[in-house]
Amino acid sequence: MLITTQDEFADYEIVKTLGLVKGNTIRARHVGKDILASLRTLVGGEIVEYTKMLAESREQSMDRLIADAKKLNADGVVCLRFTTSPVMQGAAELLAYGTAVSLKKK
Amino acid sequence: MDKLEKIGYTLLGSLAAAYLIAMIVGMIAAFPYGLIGFIALGAVGILFIKVLRERLASTEDDYYAKEVDK
């Protein structure tokens, strides 16, 4: 599956627009990691627990977006965007969305 | 998970278990009014066991936790 944040692919022509595809997830770390993250705010620096959490969220959202695109028999996804919203303390939704398209090599 | 983390989690877990036991003993001592808290604790405990079993059985969550780094 070809994916881009651009409106089009350099080597492919869009022959059909299939529609909106999306993938989302809401993840949290366990209470021990939350305590570690809170303690890191006392000393400063990267909160690696939440960095990993959001990285996992991005991967899972992308995988779900790709599965959504495959259901439409898409060759690629253009205009990929990520958005996030807080749900509760220590948990955030990450939504990946884009437009599924059929492609032809230029 | 390094050694310090394991020690920290073990201590916190032991503290939580001790606190829980103390709560249950207190609720039994406060019978019959302690039954209200006892039932609430039991209900929360059952829901916790449910989510724990679902998490342990989730291969999808295991995959992302193990394979994805920062």
Distance CA(B3)–CA(A34), nearest Å, equals: 18
Residues 6+ apart with CB under 8 A from A47: A37, A40, A41
Q: What interface predicted TM-score (ipTM) does this complex get?
A: 0.79
pLDDT at A92 over 90: no
Compute the mean pLDDT over every residue in chain A, rounded to the nearest whole number.
94
Contacts of A32 in chain B (CB under 8 A): 5, 8-9, 12
Which pLDDT tens digit goes with each residue over B33-62? 999 999 999 999 999 999 999 999 999 999
pTM tops 0.90: no
Phi/psi zone of residue A76: left (φ > 0), alpha (ψ -120 to 50 degrees), beta? beta
Residues linked to residue A104 through DSSP beta bridges, in sequence order: A13
Residues 6+ apart with CB under 8 A from B34: B26, B27, B28
Work out the pLDDT band at A29, boundaries 50, 70, 90. confident
pLDDT exceeding 90 applies to what percent of chain B? 84
pLDDT (0 to 100) of residue A30: 87
> A27-36, A49-58, A62-71, B58-67: which has the highest mean pLDDT?
A62-71
Distance CA(B31)–CA(B38), nearest Å, equals: 10
Instruction: Answer whether B65 sits within 8 Å of A56, measured CB to CB.
Output: yes
Q: In this structure, what token pair is assigned to residue A42?
A: 């006392």
User: In terms of CA atoms, which chain A residue is nearest residue B55?
Assistant: A30
Instruction: Answer whether B68 sits within 8 Å of A35, measured CB to CB.
Output: no
Instruction: Answer whether A48 sits within 8 Å of B8, measured CB to CB.
Output: no
